[in-house]
Structure formats: C-alpha cells, structure tokens
Structure 1
C-alpha cells in the first residue's frame, strides 16, 4: 500500500515495531493484496481526485465549485469523465506501494537501530519502540524515494485529467500510453519527469502522515477496545486527513506545474513562479481551491483500501 496523491494505505501493525514488517507474511501475499487495495482506492478516490485537479488547474470562471465541476463533467463527458487519467495510477500502484512500504520499513529499522535505539537493547524480548519523530522522518524519506516513480505517474494522470473534450478524437492525448510517448518524443526524459522537484516537496509532508498515524494508533489502542484492523482503519483515515491539511497548498502548486505546457510555451520555469501565479489569481484562497473533494476523498479511499488489503491478506494461503 502507498500514498499518491492519489494516497497510501496502512498494513496492520506496521507502525508499532520497525522489525515487524520483515517477517511472517509471504512476499506474494503483500503483492497480490496491494493490487486489490490499489483497485479499491482508485475506484473510490479517483472521481474526487479528478474534480480536485480540475479545480486546481482552471480559473474561477470555469467552475463555481466542486459540485458544479462534478455536474459539468458528468453532463459533458459522462461517468468516464470523472475516471479520466485513472489508468496510470492503477498500473503504477503496485510499484508505488511496494517501494513506499518497503522503503518505509527499511528507513524505520535504520533509524531505530542507528539513531534512536543504537544499543539495540531489548526490553523483555521486545524491540524498543521507534518514537513519533522517527516515524515522521521515515515517512519523509519514503516519500522522497517513491517520488521518482510517482512523479511520472502523476504527471501523465494530471495531463489526461485536464482534457475537457468529450470526444477522444478531439483530445491531444488518446490515453496514457499516447501521452507518455508524445511527452518522451517531444521533450525527452526531463519531460516525462516534469514536476519532480514539486513532487519531492509535496511528499516531504509524509512526515505528518506517518507521524500522526503512529499517534492515532497508540491513542486508539490505549483508550478504546477496537480491534487491530479497526484501529488501523480509523488511524489511517484520520492521519490521511492530517496529511492533506498540511500538504494541500504544495499539491496545488505541483498540479499547476504538471499541467503547464512543456517546451517554449512553458509558463512556470520554477516552483516559485507557479506559487506566485496561484496567489496572484485568487490570493491565499487559491492555495485551497479543490480542497473539499480532496478532504472528502482522503478518509474513505484510504479506509476502504485498507479493508481490501487486510481482507485479501487473510484470505490468501501461507
């Protein structure tokens, strides 16, 4: 499971003990379960993401708000319109999940063994618990790592999402492969990875996601009688919302950069140019345009993805 912007789910027990993810579960189970989780998260969350991206990348005159954007999209393009650009994140999900959670586990272990608990002393046979700061640091490092895969996936997705023509023949890109080919042919590798620096900055805020996930998990286990899957469900959904509250302005700027024309027609040569353009158009409110569908998406998409992940993990044989 992972976070794009589409955003990551949270395997049971991952937050509590850095070594726990290293053993016990067959590798193929996580891979297969991650596929089902990705499909579930995309099915639930992608329509919200499409509305978010369209609000982020258009001026105020085109859409009055999230509901108007949704209604115009459905009226002009049908249900397929809200699932535009869904193929790239679906295809890339298992790779992003694997890299995200794999690197997160490694970074947690490295931080625990070499910085926070370097003596590796055990308390009654238990590995010393990584503190919240360690979870936050590991989250940021894992976010940077997965950015090199997530960047191109989100770039292609964003360009497909802002194609408003109902007929395929009228669109610049007929699909994700066509978009990737044209981008690479005309602008090379740098064109495909356009917006990588903005992606790295955005995923720096993963520190809030994974840090608060540990806080919520500890609090729910201490003060409720919820089962472990239920704790993961609520902690995952709540921490996802904390992440978006803290990171959303950087996501708005990132989307502006990723949908900016490439080549000589480029409007935003640097991150600060895009940030200034957002402020110039609508002031501080511009950095929060499209936040409502994003915030509404965060909890159900990640919570349902976790339900699918845990269900498949339990169903698969050892």
Structure 2
C-alpha cells in the first residue's frame, strides 16, 4: 500500500446536521436584528422616503419628532412583520449561505474557500433570500411610513391590510411587487460576505494587548460582522434608497424601478442617494455584529463544535 493511500483521510464530509444548522441559527440571528436594529431602521426608512423636501431636517430630527409626536413605540412600527419575517429571512439567507459554501467546498467542511468563493456564496444567498425579503420589506416599510395612528389619514390597519391592498392592486403576486428591486439590492451581499471573510482572516492574525494571544473566535465574529456590514452599506446604500422609494410609492406605482434612479437624481441631486445614511451606517455595526455573533455561536452549538 502506498504512503498516499495509507494516510488517514483529512476530509470532513458535511452531514444533514451541518446542512440544517444554518437555518436554525438564522432564526436566532433574525430575532437579534429586530431587537437591536428596528428603531434605527424606522428612522432610516422615513429619512429615505421623505427625501430632502420632507418633514424632517435629518435623522436626529426624525428620531425626536417620531418619539414626541407618536411615542417611543412608534420606533417599532411594522415590527410584527420583521419579528416573523427577519427570523425567516435570516433562516433562509444564512441557511442557504451555509449550503452554498458547502457546495463550493464539494461537501468537504475542511476545505478552505477563497475570498471570492465566500463572496459568491453571499451573492447566491442574497438572491435566494430576496424571495422572502420582498414581501416582508414592502409591508414593513408601508407601515413605517404611516404617520397617523387613527382617523382618515391612517391608510392601513395592519400588515394583513397592507397585503390585501397590494394583491388588489397588483394581483396574486402583489406581495412580490418590487422583487427586481430587492434582487438588485441583495446582490450586494457579495460584498458583505466576501469582506466578512477578509476581515475575519485579518483579525485572526492579530495579537491581543498584554496577553499576546489571538482574539477569541467570538470576538472575531462580532467585530468582523460589524465591519462587513459597514462595507456592505457603503456600497449598497444608493440602491437601497432607490428600492425603498420605489416600494413605498402610492399604488399603482407611477415610477418604474429602472427610472427611479434618474428621478432621485433629477429631483434631489447626488445627495438624494444618501438620505438617512448616518442612522443606517450607525445601526449596521451593532445590529449585524450582534446578529452574526449570535449566528456563528448558535452554529457552533448546533454542529456540536466546542473548540471555541
């Protein structure tokens, strides 16, 4: 027997448990995002959609005005849908991400992927989760943009009413009105998960002050997750503004998604693409750092990995 065939196999073939772990851990990640990030998200959406000619002078004014006029609970408007939706979205996104990685690894968990392969897995996960994200986000945003809590100015009674309205206007697939916009925005997950791998490798090569030891894997997950989220929003934000403007238009949508870029540029100039950027950028680090930390930690538990 040759030396090559006598050596023990170094592959670690993926099991059903490995393939399902990402979906379960994604539910925990989605719940974390809701708790930490929804108030920031409400401010971001309102600033984006109101634009430069709206009722707010900026994100701080939006926050103060919302709390003063509608109460602190208004920061969680539309949260009932993300409570279910973000859990479902992260289950699909992170579960599919894990499986796209395994696909690129050929089923061998021990095989190291390149930065580009991690980015491509992120792109695939982004396109996959867009099918779930599109209805969740259009319902959430339309509720967030409803300022009146009662009276004739209150257009929607709740998330089910939003869904019914969309289907009356656009037909049975009305909940997926804006899917092309969501697919375009989620394509930027290429940068999210590609940069996450870059930052993770860089952080693992550092040494902690005083101890000289490398940072723990949990600290790497948290910091790399926050940095990757900031990278994602830096590239993605103009597209996110256009997507959200398009999906919150009065029905039927007067401006097609492909023309909304030109509309924003013509009416507000280049700065229109960055309305609400500050709360979004601030929100992205703690929200996604916490969510990715929870996801990676839960993944280790579900896979029975006790090394970290």
The range that moved more, 169-178 or 291-300, is 169-178
How far has the Cα of 1:89 moved from its partner?
1.5
| Superimposed CA distance per residue, residues 140-177 of structure 1 (whole angstroms, 9 cap, x where no aligned partner) | 11100110000110011111111011337741111112
Residues 34 and 142 of structure 1, relative CA distance in 2, 3 Å threshold: closer
Structure 1 runs (4+) deviating above 3 angstroms are 18-30, 33-37, 306-318
* SS class of match (2:146): coil
- The counterpart of 1:232, out of the listed 183, 199, 221, is 221
Q: How many residues of Structure 1 are paired with residues of Structure 2 in the alignment?
A: 287
- Check the 8 A contact 1:216/1:239 in 2, yes or no: yes
Report the equivalent of 1:178: 161
Correspondence 1:85-124 to 2 at 5 A: 85-113=78-106
Structure 1 residue 300 and structure 2 residue 270: aligned? Answer: no
Q: Which runs of 5+ in 1 are unaligned?
A: 1-17, 115-119, 121-125
Report the equivalent of 2:254: 267
Greater Rg by CA? 2
- Check the 8 A contact 1:139/1:207 in 2, yes or no: yes
Structure 1 residue 47 and structure 2 residue 39: aligned? Answer: yes
Report the equivalent of 1:37: 29
CA distance in 2, matches of 1:184, 1:196: 14
How far has the Cα of 1:307 moved from its partner?
4.5
- Check the 8 A contact 1:136/1:211 in 2, yes or no: yes
Q: Aligned Cα RMSD in Å?
A: 2.7
Correspondence 1:57-68 to 2 at 5 A: 57-61=49-53, 62-68=55-61
Report the equivalent of 1:252: 241
- Check the 8 A contact 1:40/1:305 in 2, yes or no: yes
Residues 213 and 184 of structure 1, relative CA distance in 2, 3 Å threshold: same
Report the equivalent of 1:3: none
TM-score, normalization by structure 2: 0.84
Report the equivalent of 2:142: 159
How far has the Cα of 1:26 moved from its partner?
9.7
The range that moved more, 56-65 or 291-300, is 56-65
CA distance in 2, matches of 1:186, 1:79: 33
CA distance in 1, matches of 2:298, 2:115: 29
| Superimposed CA distance per residue, residues 91-130 of structure 1 (whole angstroms, 9 cap, x where no aligned partner) | 122322222122212222323439xxxxx8xxxxx83311
Report the equivalent of 1:77: 70
- Check the 8 A contact 1:76/1:166 in 2, yes or no: no
How far has the Cα of 1:250 moved from its partner?
0.4
* SS class of match (2:110): coil
CA distance in 2, matches of 1:27, 1:221: 27
Residues 204 and 317 of structure 1, relative CA distance in 2, 3 Å threshold: closer
- Check the 8 A contact 1:30/1:313 in 2, yes or no: no
The range that moved more, 289-298 or 97-106, is 97-106
CA distance in 2, matches of 1:92, 1:74: 25
Q: Which runs of 5+ in 2 are unaligned?
A: 1-10, 208-213
